[in-house]
Structures are given as structure tokens and as C-alpha cells.
Amino acid sequence: MARFRYVSIDLKGKTLPGEITASDAKDARAKIRQKGLTPLQIKPVGGGSGEKNKNKQKKLFKSKQKILSETKKGVRGKGEKVGLEFLKRLLELHSSGMPVADAVKLLNQRLSDPGQKEIAGVLWKELAEGKTLSRSMRNLPQYFSESSSFVIEAGEATGNVSPILQKIISHLEEKREIRSKVLGSMAYPLFVGLIAFGVVLFFLFFLLPQIEEMLASLGGELNLMAKVLINGSNWVLAVGPFVLIALLISSGAIIQWKKTEKGGLAFDQSMLKLPLFGHIFYLSEMFQLASLLSTLIWSSIGLTENLRLCEKTIRNSYIRSRFRSARALVNEGKSLPDALRKFKLMPLMQLDILEVGERTGNLGNSMEDSSKSFREQLTKKIKTMTTLVSGGALGFAFSLVALVAISIVSSIFQVSKSISY
């Protein structure tokens, strides 16, 4: 017989840790279910440290009420990048066998980057006072999210900080990579479109008027196509300022409307329905959600707390609202796959995988598989969208330039033909 440590959910949706004696993992899972619990994670207990780790886990669950609230904006941009780089340096030293406190002290002495040095200084001061790394990190919300400190606290409770640090780093790197790809997929077509627009403006407002004057001096005139283009450009110049003012006023009104609860929900929902871009926004949110949730599940801090932390990271208010409703169902005792299914937050295939993972006590692995699936889908969508939009922008620009060039050449040809006669 062996001892197994587990994390489970009761009928009320409350997450419960514990230990059980069984012949193997399958037998342990069956015994847990006999207690009316749904196992989320089952791990064998090694040596005589089981009771000690169990006490640490209980302490972890009791202390979660004291967690400082994350700032409204959360960790973004440069702060997140600086925090990530610091965690990489810390992992390198700690993985080599150096205690966390000594590693932070050394980084405080060696680092030259102002942001990372600030982190090391604050952490070393806190650690020197006897505080844990996770608790110290909560005093730096501009660099570390609440979810990261939770995961590290679980690693401290089990004595395995290095693997937890690696999981956090992997999650943050993947999140930044995906965010960069999404922004890049929108930036490149926009750049191509702006270049094409600039070329067309050059033809319409600089080249065509000069050619018109030259032809007039020769007793000729532009053909009908060229005249239409010039008249169109003159009309744009005439009404352009008014259109620009109207756009600015409309944009301001939309921004103010988006700040309201109903406006934000409606706007973010419409963003998910955009051709090409909408599905990319959805997959990006789902990837980050599944990736973070899988990391948090491995930390054994409790599913209800995991979902609360994940909710705070969702940027799209429409998805966040539906996820909040799903979280409420889980708190009432409904399974996570069923709650997500009711609000159509994930594809049926992914929900089936999660359901199997929940039944077998491998919800963390199932969520990690879902995260990988969302990432693969997102990468493919970004490639497809970039190809289509870039090709469309180039095609449109080429068509306009070709139209203007044909108009100019045909007009010059007509004038030269009349002169030759």
C-alpha cells in the first residue's frame, strides 16, 4: 500500500486537499470518489515528509484570504517583461542549487537593469525579514501578477520551487509570444495599406495635376477616367476635413460608450464577430486562459480560486462576463466542463477532453493539452489572416496605381497622337 496526496472538489464546488492510502493511483481515485469527491490531481507521497507538506498545504489555503488585491490594470507591457527576465535569472541560480534567498541577494548585487534591480532589492529586504518569496512578490504588483505569487506559494509549500518557476516562465513567454504575433498580424497589413494609400495620394494630388497642366499647354486634356480620378480627389480634399472631424467625434463617443458596462460588453462582443480578426481575438483569449489555468491547477491552490484569478486576466469584457457566470456555476457544485459548455466558452471537442481529464484526475494535463490546441489553431489563423489581408491590401493598391497609370499613359498617348496629325 502507498500514500497518495490529492486535490478534489466536493458537491458544493469547494476544493479540498488530502491524503489517502491505496494500492495504486487507480485505487486511490476510486476511494476518493467513494467519499463523494471529484479528484483533480493525485500524486504519490514520498518519504516521511507527507505530514509536513500536508500542514504546509493547509497553511497555504488558510493564507489565501490575506492575498493583496492585484492592481486594476494588472501586469502589462514593460513591467511584465522585466518581471519575466528577473524570474529567468532567479531560476538559473536556484536550479544550480543556490537557496532562493541567496540567489535574490546575489542578483541584488549583480544586476544592472534598473527594473530588475528594484525587484531584487525589494525581495531581498522582505526575505531578510523572514517573509517568503511569494509573499514578497505581492509587494511588486507592477512586475508580478497575483496568480504567479499563488503558484510560487504552492511550490514553497511542497518544497519544489524550481519546477513551478519554470512553469510560470513558460506561461509568460508563451503569452508574450502570442500577443506579439496577434499585434504583428494586424501591424503588417496596416503598414502595407498605409504605403499603398501614400502611393495613391502621390499620384492623385501631385502627379496627375502636373500632367493635366502639361497636357493643357499642349492643347490636349485628360481622358474621362483621369478626370473622374481628379474630380474624386478634389472632392476628397473638399469634404476631407469635415469627414475627419466627424470621425474624431464618433471615435470619442465610442470610447466613452465603451467605458460603460453595456457599451463595453457590446463593443467587445462585436470585436469577436469581426471577419478574420474576430476568431483570432477569441483564440488568443482562450489560449491565455487555458495556459494559466493549467499552471494554476498544478499548483493545487483550489479550482475556485484558480478560476477567480483567471477571470482577472481576461481582457475581452464579453468573454470575462460569461466566464464569471460559469465560475458561479462551479462554485454552486457544477463541474468545470459543464459550466464552460453552458456558456459556450470552448469548443465541444475541448470540453470533452476536459471532462475526461476531470473524471480521471488529470484535469491539469487536459487543460494543458487544450492550451496547446488553442495555440496551434491561433498560429494557423494568424498565418492565414496575414496572407489574405496583406495580399488584399497589395492587390487593391496595385489596382489603384495601375488605374492611375493607365489613365495617364492613355491621355498622353491621345495628345501625342493628335499632335502628330
Secondary structure tally for the chain: helices H, strands E: 17, 3
pLDDT, tens only, 311-366: 888 889 999 999 999 999 999 989 999 999 999 999 998 999 999 988 888 888 89
Q: Which three cell numbers stand for residue 127?
A: 526575505
Do residues 330 and 310 touch, judged by C-beta distance below 8 A? no
Arithmetic mean of pLDDT, 76-101: 87
Q: What is the mean pLDDT of the chain?
A: 80
Class of domain 1-63: alpha beta
Is the pLDDT at 289 greater than 50, yes or no? yes
Q: Which residue has the higher pLDDT, 299 or 205?
A: 205
Q: What is the pLDDT of residue 9?
A: 64
Distance CA 317, CA 263 (A): 10
pLDDT, tens only, 119-168: 999 999 988 888 889 889 988 888 988 778 877 877 777 677 888 888 88
Q: What is the pLDDT of residue 335?
A: 92
What residue ranges do the domains of the chain occupy? 1-63, 76-144, 167-421
Distance CA 9, CA 17 (A): 9
Which segment of 16-20, 278-282, 376-380 scores lowest on mean pLDDT? 16-20
Instruction: Provide DSSP, 224-274.
Output: HHHHHHHHHHHHHHHHHHHHHHHHHHHHHHHHHHHTSHHHHHHHHHHHHTS
Q: What is the pLDDT of residue 103?
A: 92
Q: What is the pLDDT of residue 40?
A: 63
Q: What is the pLDDT of residue 32?
A: 82
| CATH (residue range 167-421) | 1.20.81.30
Is the pLDDT at 35 greater than 90, yes or no? no
pTM: 0.64
